[in-house]
Structure 1
């Protein structure tokens, strides 16, 4: 059984803590947070101990989840990695690429697991299409949400779009050759809505939209490839697979058939944490590595810089 801890007892941190507390492979040693009231409440709910200083957990744990503001990811993760502790850090991996590279190098030198918390990679709907995605030619994604003050420390590209960037980079598996992007601040001082068009070396093109000022939430991706289109609804845990059927829709035009599957009841966060702990126990690479986190951060940074430099608005 691995000794675990969660650093950060905010909205997402409390869910991490609940999963660790319930898993048979985990002994939740404690919860650390600078907010005493919040930290003690989560610790009490999970039947564990509260720590006001995360450094007091060093020497007592084998693996940690770091669920704090992005600006603190590098310093806290580095402290644990230097101490020989495996790390699952929420996305984005760090504030900048140099910090991400330092974390990756440190984990590699210490032979430790550094996993990045891209929760959608463990979405059952996405997982179900892995064997169906073959040489995608065009990808379209929309990730829309209402405004949440807790994400004010980062722009919408780092907050929401980065999920889809990570997925697209993983399934396209080719270098980005060109990016066009625009966006605008609406409710905050940074970008709240953005669109990007990514062109890849293998010819694939991806149009990515993200907004945190929408009245309705939406998390969908459509993947077009030869003879088929795969629509993944991350929110409803549903997949629609459109493909050429037998017969004709019109003379000379093949009929289109559709298979739909629903994956209700799956728990992506539990699967993510289980994968992390299994990787630690087996000393095997996690599904989402530090390098994956760095690559998604790099794409998100490039999009943010293009919008800032051009001053383009939607």
Structure 2
């Protein structure tokens, strides 16, 4: 690879634009290319940032050293496999795929070529900045609420894979235990996917995690409560404030840290450091992304087995 990595983004939607700007601003990388089925959309993202627009995958892959996949989730696995086959490390927006079998193909292909695969569960960056990932106790209970108004994006997957998967990943990283059961109830949207859902996941050490997501809410709300043997932490992610009754020190000014102020940028930068060999791993590895996906699909299965909400 050249000293300055050539970054490429697949998908010229909102998140594709976010990722393109990261490649354009971070040191040691330039935005080289944006791929989208609609060339005019690709050009609108790429050209102002010094890149080129592509609609052919092979030509796009020839023009880049590293790839971000920010396309609809149903295309993540096939596009990641194409990039890996071309020898390119990949950063895949969440979810890593829409089936564990597809995700395992990505993992195996990358392992065979010794390539880095990262996944965009960048909420972990915020937890690290707060200090939550350093709490030395195992949690007893987690309650996560994530509501948002209707949006045209991510309609190819359910609210479980779109929204809840973030909090499922956070539960998995906060606890060393393994999930054993998932129960849930939800409401299907007009398109046939789950637009609202509540789920309860039980872990093998007694830890219980409760999740409530909606993408048809009147307003945005995002909160989390984590109960430990010594106290609890309540977080309002909208105001970026928390209440901590545990004896463990958390950073009250976490929102002002560079990492929490731009978790996507920190996540992409960690990916690039791992690609260069300057860091042992990205923020979220392919194996961790598969765990979150597996649990999300277990929740979806539980929803299918329960009566729908009225």
Q: TM-score, normalised by structure 1?
A: 0.91
2:239 maps to what in 1? 236
2:183 and 2:254 map into 1 onto residues whose CA distance is: 34
1:309 Cα shift?
2.3
Q: In 2 relative to 1, CA 244–130 (structure 1 residues): closer, same or farther, beyond 3 Å?
A: closer
2:172 maps to what in 1? 169
Structure 1: gaps spanning 5 or more residues: 246-257
Q: State which of 80, 83, 86 in structure 2 corresponds to 1:83.
A: 86
Residue 309 of structure 2 corresponds to residue 309 of structure 1:
no
| Aligned residues of 1:125 and 1:263 also touching (Cα < 8 A) | no
Structure (1 or 2) with the greater strand fraction: 1
Residue 274 of structure 2 corresponds to residue 271 of structure 1:
no
Q: In 2 relative to 1, CA 16–47 (structure 1 residues): closer, same or farther, beyond 3 Å?
A: same
2:100 maps to what in 1? 97
| Aligned residues of 1:229 and 1:242 also touching (Cα < 8 A) | yes
Residue 55 of structure 2 corresponds to residue 52 of structure 1:
yes
1:209 Cα shift?
0.7
Structure 2: gaps spanning 5 or more residues: none
Q: In 2 relative to 1, CA 40–294 (structure 1 residues): closer, same or farther, beyond 3 Å?
A: same
1:46 and 1:304 map into 2 onto residues whose CA distance is: 39
What SS does the aligned partner of 1:214 have?
A: coil
| Aligned residues of 1:124 and 1:268 also touching (Cα < 8 A) | no
1:21 maps to what in 2? 24
| Aligned residues of 2:22 and 2:268 also touching (Cα < 8 A) | yes
1:187 and 1:193 map into 2 onto residues whose CA distance is: 12
1:311 Cα shift?
3.0
What SS does the aligned partner of 1:95 have?
A: coil
Q: In 2 relative to 1, CA 219–208 (structure 1 residues): closer, same or farther, beyond 3 Å?
A: same
| Aligned residues of 2:73 and 2:97 also touching (Cα < 8 A) | yes
Residue 300 of structure 2 corresponds to residue 298 of structure 1:
no
What SS does the aligned partner of 2:172 have?
A: helix
Question: 1:189-239: per-residue Cα shift (whole Å, max 9, x none)?
Answer: 211110111110111111111111111111221110012111233333333
What SS does the aligned partner of 1:235 have?
A: coil
Residue 141 of structure 2 corresponds to residue 141 of structure 1:
no
1:119 Cα shift?
2.2
1:123 Cα shift?
2.2
2:170 and 2:117 map into 1 onto residues whose CA distance is: 18
1:61 Cα shift?
2.0
| Aligned residues of 2:35 and 2:53 also touching (Cα < 8 A) | yes
Root mean square deviation, CA, Å = 2.1
Q: TM-score, normalised by structure 2?
A: 0.92
Q: In 2 relative to 1, CA 186–70 (structure 1 residues): closer, same or farther, beyond 3 Å?
A: closer
| Aligned residues of 1:241 and 1:260 also touching (Cα < 8 A) | no
1:193 maps to what in 2? 196
Q: How does 1:97-116 map to 2 (within 5 A)?
A: 97-116=100-119
Question: 1:87-117: per-residue Cα shift (whole Å, max 9, x none)?
Answer: 0001111111100000001111111001111
